Structure 1
Amino acid sequence: MANGEPGGLRPDTGRAEAFSDGVLAIVITLLVLNLRVPVTEPGDLREGLLDQWPAYVAYVASFGNVAVVWLNHRAAFARLRRSSRGLQWANLFVLFTTVLLPFPTAVVSRALQDENLTDQRTAVVLYALANILLSVSWAMFFQYLMRHPEISAEEVETPFFRGERLRSLVGVVLYAVGALIGYLVEPLLALAFFVALPIFYGVTSTGLYSLRRVTRRFGR
């Protein structure tokens, strides 16, 4: 075949990685556009900036999510020797869900600056749902890699992809918990929870075994 090999295999993954990096760069740019100069009276700039603190926190949470996506993407593709049409679609679904993040980030940052509790709860649930969808896309991505070991490098162990799929499914549960916290308890508490989650995923971005290494290091 002129464009690849039988079964939809492609000789490398470079185009998918380059395209994904470009998309993620755009997402980060869109996130920072939510940080605006406040409209204030002369002498009130400090108060105006402080009043926008939910926008800063939401930016940190979403930037952390995009950073984790990039780390996950880098760790996964470093273990692949070929691409395939199925992998390309799985990768596009991950990007599709990641590109959604600026919208709920803007909604939650705006709602938390207002005093309407109903809107705050709705915004927090929307943010959680977007991240649940992102976690589902990763679970599907790693499920595909588990079912198609022929595109992985020979030295890659199947348990790595199994562990990554589990890590993604844990994300579905944790963001659902965050939605419940925000809706039933306190939206601001859910926002703090959302900031903390990317830390866990950042530490384990090269696999769950990296968490065990960190635990052993601090346990000495």
Structure 2
Amino acid sequence: MEKETARIEAFSDGVFAIAITLLILEIQIPGPSGNLGSQLIKEWPFYVAFLISFAFIGIMWINHHRLFTHIKRSDNTLMILNLLLLLGVTSVPFPTVVLAQHLGHPDQAVAARVYNGTYFVIAIFFNVLWWYVNRAHLL
């Protein structure tokens, strides 16, 4: 018998996979100018932001996977709360680019707040999801 949450998990896995893949699209490939090394080094903020966001999305996926191994059944509220979490996950590429573009510039503090704020909202969504699953006896 298939687990009742299998479709939710499959959809969520797809969203996580797409979000983590979209992160790499902002890393620009330098054109042939004879100074490839220095051009690659100039892109360091994008590498750092990519690696941090990749790790964070990976950790979120692991936590999501572990949570859903305990959930026995689903309901509409669970699906809505899960969609809110996935909304946060799909937004991660945007603050990642904002952070990368502004590291080392005067607005880097604002960029860091946008980036951190995104993860704060995602953490709220995840905790509300966990709280609901416990309260609704879906475990």
TM-score (norm 2): 0.93
Task: Tell me how far apart the structure 1 counterparts of residues 31 and 110 of structure 2 sit (CA, whole Å).
Answer: 26
- Which protein, 1 or 2, shows the higher relative CO under an 8 Å CA cutoff with sep ≥ 6? 2
**Unaligned runs of at least 5 residues, structure 2:** none
What one-letter code is carried by the residue in structure 1 that aligns with 2:12? S
Indicate the SS of the match to 1:36.
coil
What one-letter code is carried by the residue in structure 2 that aligns with 1:45? L
The counterpart of 1:23, out of the listed 15, 37, 53, is: 15
The residue number in structure 2 matching 1:13 is: 5
The residue number in structure 2 matching 1:77 is: 68
What one-letter code is carried by the residue in structure 1 that aligns with 2:96? T
The residue number in structure 2 matching 1:33 is: 25
Q: Report the Cα offset of residue 111 of structure 1.
A: 1.1
Indicate the SS of the match to 2:40.
helix
Q: Report the Cα offset of residue 39 of structure 1.
A: 4.4
Q: Report the Cα offset of residue 100 of structure 1.
A: 0.7
> Where do 1:1-220 residues align within 5 Å?
12-39=4-31, 41-42=33-34, 44-112=35-103, 115-117=104-106, 119-149=107-137, 151-152=138-139
TM-score (norm 1): 0.60
Say if 1:40 and 1:48, in contact at 8 Å, map to a contact too: no
Say if 1:66 and 1:98, in contact at 8 Å, map to a contact too: yes
Task: Tell me how far apart the structure 1 counterparts of residues 80 and 29 of structure 2 sit (CA, whole Å).
Answer: 39
Task: Tell me how far apart the structure 2 counterparts of residues 32 and 70 of structure 1 sit (CA, whole Å).
Answer: 17
- Number of paired residues? 137
Counting aligned pairs with the same residue, the percent is: 35
Q: Report the Cα offset of residue 52 of structure 1.
A: 0.8
Task: Tell me how far apart the structure 2 counterparts of residues 123 and 61 of structure 1 sit (CA, whole Å).
Answer: 14
Q: Report the Cα offset of residue 79 of structure 1.
A: 0.4
Say if 2:85 and 2:122, in contact at 8 Å, map to a contact too: yes
Q: Which has the larger radius of gyration?
A: 1
What one-letter code is carried by the residue in structure 2 that aligns with 1:31? L
